Structure 1
């Protein structure tokens, strides 16, 4: 029997891709983060077939990234609003935008992130909240977390293999 995709191994990257890894889902979330809420807005912005949009919106609702709210009974019409989980996707989208501008836009940046208060262009970088260091620093690596299964523990070192920061007594 042929599998539809990779088996769930407990990997957070794989689990994330199962919810948002399809291209239309990324674009719907991009537009939702920019303020789109209605079916016709998504359809117009994305030039997407209605049946595909219906399927992707349903999937994003089931994944807890969007919630559907009825705004008209006759005819029945719904809006799609980001949930907290959906709003938390914004830095992921910004990281992908920055990576695409840096590596896949030989003609130059077509979309940039701008500070509304200053008008300055932002330079997105993911940082560790505790140290303030960029996650691209070679000091950071992946490690098996507390809930890691055997397969993940074989692939990544344990957190216990690294020096532990201890607070002063």
Structure 2
């Protein structure tokens, strides 16, 4: 049986993600830097998604930008800077954030579904595993879904 520390360990991970040259600079006539095209991302956790959903409620087009901002560890950028990136780059970064966070839904689906189901999931996990809300909030979405599935399979 896994310990709570083992289950929560994934929330502290960061990933170096290489950005393909054609994504960073879609115009082949423009020069690219002579250094590795790498950023450092971290998985989003439940708390991140709840905050993003609330913040983007009034402006749906902010969801992707806020998801990338929360996950981008290095270089650290603000919402305005991410909003100034070309759409293809933001889309690529968002795909990588979704991948490392265990999210298989689109940003629009996540925006519509995140609030209530995640709150219920956090409550179930806290109740079943005896975790504090803080511990549950540190889980990535992929970890939450895995634990819920394990609980479901154990109940059948």
- Give the alignment's TM-score, normalised by structure 2: 0.28
Task: Between the two structures, name the one with larger relative contact order (CA 8 Å, sep ≥ 6).
Answer: 2
Pair member with larger Rg: 1
Q: Which has the higher helix share?
A: 2
